[in-house]
Amino acid sequence: MTDTVLRTVVRRETHSPRTTAMLVLVVLLILALAYAAVEIILNLSGAQPLLVAPGEALNAIVAAPTALMPVAFVVGGVVLAVLGLIVLVLALKPGRLSRHEMSWGERAVVVDNGVVASALAQHLSIESGIAREDIVVGVAHRAVDVTVRPPVGIPVDEAQLRRIVDEEATSYKLSPAVRTHLRVHRPDTKES
């Protein structure tokens, strides 16, 4: 495979499509148009409107500047602007899946964040001697958050743990690169 093909495959595996957002907007638009068509057909056939007749709705829109208070226009404008901004952000911002690309020579390797978290936790457990269940790792788009809860009486060198986590995360060669954060939570030794 060529480099361009690999780039395309990796992008498709690490970014989510906006199909759901687009589908919701299209369904809402179709429902609005169907409602308008039903009202027009009811008006043309002389039947009672479901909500409001098209002529009355048009007259209400034309009379709105004099009938409504300016506050209503401001509120309506703000609501429409917020909805427009949400649609614009959904359209332009790429959706991210919880996956990273790993550099592995000329191959394309996409790894789930849960796999990265599990591997980091297992490696830290083996290197530090702390039980695996006392280590919690979370992997986000650009950050790795490691929380270590050593049992009472077990000495822990925080600098050594940080070095282990940093070296292991760096060895994965994740793209985009991640920052590591380490916290050591000591259990409360006081009896209640």
Q: HEC profile for 65-84?
A: HHHCCHHHHHHHHHHHHHHH
CA dist 11 and 29 (Å) reads 30
pLDDT, tens digit, for every residue of 103-130?
777 777 889 999 999 999 999 999 998 9
pLDDT band for 1, please (50, 70, 90 cuts): low
* Cβ atoms 148, 184 nearer than 8 A: yes
Residue 53 is inside which H or E element, if any?
Answer: none
* Cβ atoms 132, 169 nearer than 8 A: no
**Dihedral of the CA atoms 7, 5, 9, 110 (nearest 10)?**
-60
pLDDT, mean over the chain: 86
* Cβ atoms 131, 180 nearer than 8 A: no
Nearest to 176 by CA among 114, 113, 117: 113
C-beta atoms surrounding 67 within 10 Å: 9
pLDDT, tens digit, for every residue of 35-79?
999 999 998 999 998 888 888 888 888 887 777 777 877 888 899
Structure tokens at 100: 């990273």
Instruction: Output the pLDDT for position 190.
Output: 55
pLDDT, tens digit, for every residue of 153-181?
778 889 999 999 999 999 999 988 899 99
The number of residues in the chain equals 192
